[in-house]
Amino acid sequence: MTTDTFLKEKAVTFFLDGQEVHLAGIAKGSGMIKPNMATMLGFILTDAEIDPRSLQKALKNAVDLSFNRVTVDGDTSTNDMVLLLANGKRGKGVINEKHPDFFIFQEALNRVCRDLAKDIARDGEGATKFINVFVQKAKNESEARTVAFTVAESPLVKTAFFGEDPNWGRIMAAVGRSGILIQPERINITINGVPFVEEGMGTQKMTRNELRSVVQSKELEILIDLGLGDASFNVWTCDFSYDYVKINSHYS
Amino acid sequence: MTTDTFLKEKAVTFFLDGQEVHLAGIAKGSGMIKPNMATMLGFILTDAEIDPRSLQKALKNAVDLSFNRVTVDGDTSTNDMVLLLANGKRGKGVINEKHPDFFIFQEALNRVCRDLAKDIARDGEGATKFINVFVQKAKNESEARTVAFTVAESPLVKTAFFGEDPNWGRIMAAVGRSGILIQPERINITINGVPFVEEGMGTQKMTRNELRSVVQSKELEILIDLGLGDASFNVWTCDFSYDYVKINSHYS
């Protein structure tokens, strides 16, 4: 059974060592989505000619920046796969990670994987909103990651967004329970660029109706600034709706 | 705003140092319920005469065995409180933890706290079922606790129970992603005493319809035997329904 509602595909064209090459990917998955990696399948094809070890390394980098940053319900897959196949048809010679153009290949691969991963979150079971939780100025990446996943998986945060309730208190509460040491008065939160929390308190600049209109958007960028260091991490997710319950309570 | 749907109260009478004494408690709370402790209030009164330090210690023990074992959605409270007041009216003298009857007081306090805690899970937002997740034969208590909370908070496990779907695969998947080292072939799972998983595989002894009738019960005891050691831990929780989403998406 699949609960995907749309096709997830992405293709890019770029130049490698003076040669036009292509990279295309398709993916499926919409529930039980959480690193490592997700109940998902990804197939990525390229006609570039890349050394197998360098190809594997590039894929691992790209997956860490994409499929490993998606969560729908916090439940992790029991099986998942991303395959990257390079047939070398367009190569003038094998390229490895030492080649000056290798970063161009990596960037193209990152783009394809990122777009597929975002589509998986966008198509999360029952999703009505696509949410990017971006945590910055954390002490280190591990702490940024912990906060981002805790917020992205909080049922209270996710149901608030489904209800289009500008409930910044639930975001603060999730940050607070994430397990890292925070200084509440240093925290600033914006959603789609609009301030919600300033120095740990609800903003005085906006009315509740103004905040409500912000969270009515179908795409939400939650920026959580911890004010502690230089590290950041982001997670893509979706809201938590009646349909999520419906899909998963009537599975069989 | 309160989302409690019923009164949570418990009273017991017992003998301490030859004197009849009483202990009674009330509590409120139904959402954002997770140790430490929960968005809850608890007030417990006794007419026994107990040394204040011993009273505090007894309360801490009782809370660890009760309110700290409840979860509804994994979201933790930003504020909670349990108060235990002893007015000493029925005392013939101050009792402390060295007194041979102190364990009787501790047991009475445990009972009151446990019943109140179970009622909080039973009244979880939108709950249609009360679920006790009991993990046994873990390597140590910390691992048993990790598995119990992971299963109790898995949205896929909770929606399956709401839908009365005997989906033991979701329980196994939650155990598997909990982060502890498991040996799947050693795992046995029963629900209300009926085998669901034997040696890591779905039971062959019961038909799917028989398993379905088990999970139609309003009270579920999920026993997860990891087959690794001697430690155990349990968590009380509830299922995940449309009403949970309704209550939390239309909060304000």
**pLDDT confidence tier of residue A94, bands split at 50, 70 and 90:** confident
CB contact under 8 A, A174 and B75: yes
In a mutagenesis test of the A interface, which of B153, B159, B165, B242 is the best target, namely the one with the most A β-carbons within 10 Å? Answer: B159
Q: Which residues of B touch A159 (CB under 8 A)?
A: 244-245, 248-249
Nearest Cα residue in chain B from A171:
B75
In chain B, pLDDT over 70 holds for what percent of residues?
93
B250 has a pLDDT exceeding 80: no
Task: Name the residue among B154, B177, B245 with its Cβ closest to that of A159.
Answer: B245
pLDDT (0 to 100) of residue A112? 92
Regarding predicted confidence, which is higher, B7 or A203? A203
**pLDDT confidence tier of residue A249, bands split at 50, 70 and 90:** confident
- In this prediction, residues B194-214 reach a mean pLDDT of 95
A184 has a pLDDT exceeding 70: yes
**pLDDT confidence tier of residue A215, bands split at 50, 70 and 90:** very high
- Asked whether A200 and A185 are in contact (CB, 8 A), the reply is yes
- CA A137 – CA A230 distance, rounded (Å): 4
**pLDDT confidence tier of residue B225, bands split at 50, 70 and 90:** very high
Residues of B with CB under 8 A from a CB of A: 31-32, 34, 73-76, 78, 153-156, 159-160, 162-163, 165, 167, 170, 173-174, 176-177, 240-242, 244-246, 248-252
pLDDT (0 to 100) of residue B9? 86
CB contact under 8 A, A245 and B248: no
Q: Residue B248: left if φ>0, alpha if ψ -120 to 50, beta else—which one?
A: alpha
Measured CA to CA in angstroms, residue B100 lies from B15, B48, B51 at distances of: 12, 15, 14
List CB contacts of B34: < 8 A, sequence separation 6 or more: A177, B70, B71, B72, B73, B74, B75, B76, B77, B153
Cite the active site residues of B: 39
pLDDT (0 to 100) of residue B150? 94
- CA B31 – CA B133 distance, rounded (Å): 18
Work out the minimum CA distance from A245 to partner chain B, whole angstroms. Answer: 6
First vs last Cα of chain B: how many Å apart?
A: 10
The listed CATH number (3.10.20.340, 3.40.50.10860, 3.40.50.970, 3.40.50.1820) that belongs to domain B130-249: 3.10.20.340
Mean pLDDT, chain B, as a whole number?
A: 89
Q: Which of A5-14, A182-191, B3-12, B28-37 has the highest mean pLDDT?
A: A182-191
What is residue A77's DSSP assignment?
P
- Asked whether B23 and B109 are in contact (CB, 8 A), the reply is yes
Look up the CATH architecture of domain A8-122: 4-Layer Sandwich (3.60)
Residue A158, beta-bridge partner list: none
Task: Name the residue among A160, A250, A252 with its Cβ closest to that of B251.
Answer: A160
CB contact under 8 A, A75 and B248: no
Distance from CA of residue B82 to its chain's centroid? Answer: 16
Nearest Cα residue in chain A from B77:
A173
**B196-199 contact pairs (CB < 8 A, 24+):** B196/B166, B196/B168, B196/B171, B197/B168, B197/B171, B197/B172
Q: Which of A232-246, B11-25, B69-83, B205-219 has the lowest average pLDDT?
A: B69-83
A38 has a pLDDT exceeding 60: no
**Domain spans, chain A:** 8-122, 130-249
A76 has a pLDDT exceeding 80: no
- In this prediction, residues B107-131 reach a mean pLDDT of 91
**pLDDT confidence tier of residue B252, bands split at 50, 70 and 90:** low
Q: Which of B24-38, B83-97, B106-120, B165-179 has the lowest average pLDDT?
A: B24-38
**Closest to A32 (Cα-Cα) out of B87, B90, B160, B2:** B160
pLDDT (0 to 100) of residue A251? 60
**pLDDT confidence tier of residue B78, bands split at 50, 70 and 90:** low
Q: What is the pTM of this model?
A: 0.80
Residue B192, beta-bridge partner list: none
pLDDT (0 to 100) of residue A242? 86
B97 has a pLDDT exceeding 80: yes
Peptide linkage before A81 cis (omega within 30 of 0): no
**pLDDT confidence tier of residue B37, bands split at 50, 70 and 90:** low
What is residue A97's DSSP assignment?
T
Sign of CA dihedral A246, A247, A249, B3: negative
In a mutagenesis test of the A interface, which of B80, B209, B245 is the best target, namely the one with the most A β-carbons within 10 Å? Answer: B245
A35 has a pLDDT exceeding 70: no
Work out the minimum CA distance from A167 to partner chain B, whole angstroms. Answer: 9
Q: Which of A1-10, A45-54, B230-239 has the lowest average pLDDT?
A: A1-10
Half-sphere exposure of B30 (CA within 13 A, CB side): 22
Task: Name the residue among B76, B162, B170 with its Cβ closest to that of A177.
Answer: B76
Tokens (6 digits) for A181: 């040491």
ipTM greater than 0.90: no
pLDDT (0 to 100) of residue B18? 82
Peptide linkage before B36 cis (omega within 30 of 0): yes
Q: Which residues of A touch B78 (CB under 8 A)?
A: 169, 173, 176
